[in-house]
Amino acid sequence: MYDFDFANPATLDEAVAALGRGDAQALAGGQTYLPALRQRLAAPDTIVSLKRVEGLSDIEATVDTLRIGAMATHARIARETADRFPALSRLAGNIGDMAVRSRGTLGGSLANNDPSACYPAMALATGATIHTNARDIAAEDFFRGMFETALDDGEIITAVTVPVAQAAHYEKFVQRASRFALVGVFAARYPDGARVAVTGASSGGVFRWTEAEERLSDRFEASALDGLTIAPDDMIEDLHATKPYRAHLVSVMTRRAVEHA
């Protein structure tokens, strides 16, 4: 990797200030960013670690929501949401391996918005709110395509509020090398209807499958999806899957998500 300065702020204000100076990059677990640095694919002047920033890791429950600090690790989320929101707990517990789960964070993953990451599907399917140092952003408005988000330069995710579903499940079909989602579907049932979000599949990044939502809002059962398919045109095609295969997997994973919810 190239040389860089390392800032280790203790408060959000200090972190914001550090990110405002020169070409700075926030570090929120680093499970994607550190390999990129090691491969010399990034050359920031300063890396601003959010690890010590107070109050960014807490997980708080209200009656019908979870407010999860951006720096909560996958391991911690898996551990601490198991009772309140088992679908989220299982999602977190199946990211990467133990080492990744011990370092990687919810905020880091959302800010990176890898098209194959798991959390974006959860955030979109639960109608989560992403809190930053500057504002609150609805998940609907947050994801802007592959690796693109609504975050401004230097804006820091502080927490995410997740409405707890009546029933939900995340079904991940893993890409066998990276174990990221080749296709991942988060299906959730709320009093006002069903929500289905799909990661890994589309060249536009995470998306809601509204046709599936409509059917499941009437009847949250797998059979409600019978005959429903999604067009392959916008699917990703790469080493690991063709467009038709990914489109097929969206249907299969959605049905399985509902079955297991």
**Which stretches of the chain bind other proteins, using CB under 8 A?**
1-3, 39-40, 173, 176-178, 180, 239-242, 244-245, 248-249, 252
The smaller minimum CB distance to other proteins, of residues 47 and 128, is found at 47
Residue 109 CB, shortest distance to other proteins, in Å, is 16
Residue 142 CB, shortest distance to other proteins, in Å, is 25
Residue with tokens 């991940």: 172
Return d(Cα 199, Cα 180) in angstroms, integer.
10
Q: Which residue in 164, 162, 206 sits closest to 72, CA to CA?
A: 162
The smaller minimum CB distance to other proteins, of residues 7 and 247, is found at 247
Token reading at 190: 């709320």
Residues 6+ apart with CB under 8 A from 65: 161, 162, 163, 164
The smaller minimum CB distance to other proteins, of residues 10 and 43, is found at 43
Residue 233 CB, shortest distance to other proteins, in Å, is 17
Residue 147 CB, shortest distance to other proteins, in Å, is 15
The smaller minimum CB distance to other proteins, of residues 176 and 192, is found at 176
Question: CA-based Rg of the chain, rounded to a whole angstrom?
Answer: 18
Start-to-end C-alpha separation, the chain: 44
